Amino acid sequence: MNSESSHILTVTKSICPLCGKEAVTNWVQDNIPFFGEVMHITSMCECGFRYSDTLIMAQHKPVHYEMAIRTQDDIDARVVRSTSGTIRIPELGVDMEPGPASESFISNIEGVLDRVANILEMVVRWNEDDKTQRAKELLLTIEKIKAGEFGITVIIEDPLGNSAIISEKATHRELTQEEANCLKTGMIIFEKE
């Protein structure tokens, strides 16, 4: 790191989950537009294990974003999903909830649909039986959505307020504390003193 950098580097050591040897983790604070203060984390071990993520340090009021997807142009709407964000597509029965391996991402509605399709394709590859019929049906529906032939609603809820759908067609509101308490947040929450 050069002396002009305002980023503070902290290095910690832990045990590698793959080989049991020492893994080194670099923690670097940064400030990113829209997200605000974040922590970049990179862990590496000589065995080849590597893990990286960006944690959002800021907490805002809990939010609910919703957008009806009716045309091919709608799938270009920008999606910001933090590690604490839950994405729901009720018409497909899809809930993408945060967990221990949650990653934040910035994409668009089409990118979210691609993530769902990748999981469905994995289900089909791993299970060559009648149980994959629903997955195959959903994959066909995703193609119809992308072609503007099938409408859905995309919902993002975030108890820490760091996720959003950025589009003039999206609506948003603050979640009640009761609604926010029902949502998962992922594994790590930093609380300011």
pLDDT tens per residue across span 146-177: 999 999 999 999 998 888 999 999 999 999 99
70 is a domain residue: yes
Same domain, 68 and 19: no
CATH of the domain at 51: 2.20.25.420
Query: Which of these ranges, 71-75, 105-109, 168-172, has the smallest mean pLDDT?
Result: 105-109
Specify the pTM: 0.74
143 is a domain residue: yes
Domain that holds residue 162: 63-181
**By the 8 A CB rule, do 10 and 42 touch?**
no
Q: Give the number of domains in the chain.
A: 2
At residue 126, the pLDDT reads 86
pLDDT tens per residue across span 2-14: 434 467 889 999 9
Which residues 6+ apart lie within 8 Å of 123 measured at CB? 132, 135
Query: Which of these ranges, 12-16, 79-83, 105-109, 128-132, has the smallest mean pLDDT?
Result: 128-132
Same domain, 51 and 68: no
